[in-house]
Amino acid sequence: MPLWNIYHPEGTFEDNASKEALSKDITSFYHDGGAALPKFYVIVNFIKLPQNDMYIGGRPNTGTPFIRLKIDHIAVTLPNEDEVYNSVTARIEEALKPHIADKGYDWEFHVDETERRLWRVQGFNPPPHKSEGEKLWRELNKAVPWEEESK
Amino acid sequence: MPLWNIYHPEGTFEDNASKEALSKDITSFYHDGGAALPKFYVIVNFIKLPQNDMYIGGRPNTGTPFIRLKIDHIAVTLPNEDEVYNSVTARIEEALKPHIADKGYDWEFHVDETERRLWRVQGFNPPPHKSEGEKLWRELNKAVPWEEESK
Amino acid sequence: MPLWNIYHPEGTFEDNASKEALSKDITSFYHDGGAALPKFYVIVNFIKLPQNDMYIGGRPNTGTPFIRLKIDHIAVTLPNEDEVYNSVTARIEEALKPHIADKGYDWEFHVDETERRLWRVQGFNPPPHKSEGEKLWRELNKAVPWEEESK
């Protein structure tokens, strides 16, 4: 469900190990944290751009590398509360820190929440959040037929 | 209006014919189906990524090819009803099937709906959905001046 | 805050000067206009695609170059009024004109508005729009600690 598009300049995330490490920490945030989502819900795209194809305030991304992350949340819509938003974005920062801030990069992210019912995985309507079906998908780490539960 | 971004790994959709075929079926869904939108509203971007630039649950996209589709809907906001959402996503699956599932790929898509009034085509505010103006654009398959209708 | 993804075919925006010029005019719209945002909020990504990786109504982008712009607005949510939407999109057109229409390209854009509280810059929750903190960020053109103001 979460779709992360990470726009980064050439010269950053060039080795596969650095990309895998960040994607694992992002996955852990959704899988091991309170959301407890299936791992395979977490998609991370590294979209590498030449330095002169990214502009910050009208200037090319040729100085301190700037990383721009755009995150779509689909499976879970957060309650509309300042504290929840603050807590979630703080934990995203924690996941990013060793991979971005600690390397001396600049960065920015934002999250968009979209309609869960306009989402399909492998042809399935995903089971409701926190349902037995979702637990099964999480355990198997794949999409399988699930019983529609009484709600 | 619909903007489709298709993130796919190297080794998939490498030939132009496969991309054109999928984009034609997507176009047909919007143009020949009940929405009856102008063909030129349908934009499909194939964004090819190296296998090690896409991660699913922390693992690189090096196994069964995984295709991630992000769809923006702008011209039409669906009524907020389970049955409508289910019907639309089912028909999107039908359009995708021969191009993705039948090739043995894995896939996931989600749709975001955005504000119609923050959209312009070729400098024009597009005519209202199902209006005479939209029919004209559909017939000509291009954006042309249209009369503001009484609403 | 505004994130602009500009999907353009090979053969357009090939020289750095053309990209910098467009990104500067976009930045000016947000910085010098009524929004008066910090320059560094404005991120513009040029995502170049082979002509046969973009489809318009089922046809590849091999004729008149077609430029597709997707804009995310985060810092400011517009009041839900036809006149405001019309004014903002008209001014975006003005910024684009010399870079796209005047070159004979075709184009389309749409704006998505997302939740401000799910946005962080350089680890900070950005200061409220039109606050003293935002003025400080604008003046310095960088993210710095700011005092939480009484609201």
Q: What is the pLDDT of residue B150?
A: 46
- CB contact under 8 Å between C108 and B122, yes or no, is yes
- CB contact under 8 Å between A112 and C72, yes or no, is yes
Strands B119-121, C106-113: parallel, antiparallel or unpaired by DSSP?
A: antiparallel
This complex has an ipTM of 0.97
Strand residues in B1-151 grouped as ranges (E): 3-9, 43-49, 54-56, 59-60, 66-73, 106-113, 119-121
- CB contact under 8 Å between C123 and A101, yes or no, is yes
Instruction: Say if residues A64 and C51 touch (Cβ distance below 8 Å).
Output: no
Tell me the average pLDDT of chain B. 96
Q: What is the pLDDT of residue B72?
A: 98
Q: What percent of chain B clears pLDDT 90, i.e. is strictly above it?
A: 95
Tell me the average pLDDT of chain A. 96
Q: Is the pLDDT of residue C143 over 80?
A: yes
What is the distance, to the nearest Å, from the Cα of residue B89 to the centroid of all Cα atoms in its chain? 11
Q: Rounded CA gap, A12 and A27, in Å?
A: 20
pLDDT band of A147, cuts 50, 70, 90: confident
Q: Which two tokens stand for residue C95?
A: 């910024």
Q: What is the pLDDT of residue A151?
A: 45
Length in residues, chain A: 151
CB contacts under 8 A, C 121-150 vs B, are none
- Where residue C126 falls (left for φ over 0; alpha for ψ -120 to 50; beta otherwise) is beta
Burial of B16 (0-12, 13-18, 19+ CB in 10 A): middle
> Is residue A3 within 8 angstroms of chain B, CB to CB?
yes
Q: Is the pLDDT of residue B27 over 80?
A: yes
Q: What's the predicted TM-score (pTM) here?
A: 0.97
Instruction: Say if residues A26 and A95 touch (Cβ distance below 8 Å).
Output: yes
At A2-34, the pLDDT tens digits run 999 999 999 999 999 999 999 999 999 999 999
Q: What is the pLDDT of residue C114?
A: 97
Nearest CA in chain A to C15: A52
| Burial readout B80-92 (b: 16 or more C-beta within 10 A, e: otherwise) | eeeeebeebbeeb
Strands B43-49, B3-9: parallel, antiparallel or unpaired by DSSP?
A: parallel
CB contacts under 8 A, A 51-70 vs C, are 52-60, 66, 68, 70
Q: Is the pLDDT of residue B148 over 80?
A: no
pLDDT band of C150, cuts 50, 70, 90: very low
How much is the average pLDDT of B24-52? 97
Q: Is the pLDDT of residue A150 over 60?
A: no
- CB contact under 8 Å between B52 and A112, yes or no, is no
Answer with the residue of higher pLDDT: A149 or B64. Answer: B64
**Which chains does chain C touch, 3 or more C-beta pairs < 8 A?**
A, B
Q: What is the pLDDT of residue B149?
A: 54
Q: Secondary structure of chain B: what % helix, strand, coil (to 5)?
A: 35, 25, 40
Q: Is the pLDDT of residue C62 over 80?
A: yes
- CB contact under 8 Å between B108 and A117, yes or no, is no
Instruction: Say if residues A53 and B69 touch (Cβ distance below 8 Å).
Output: no
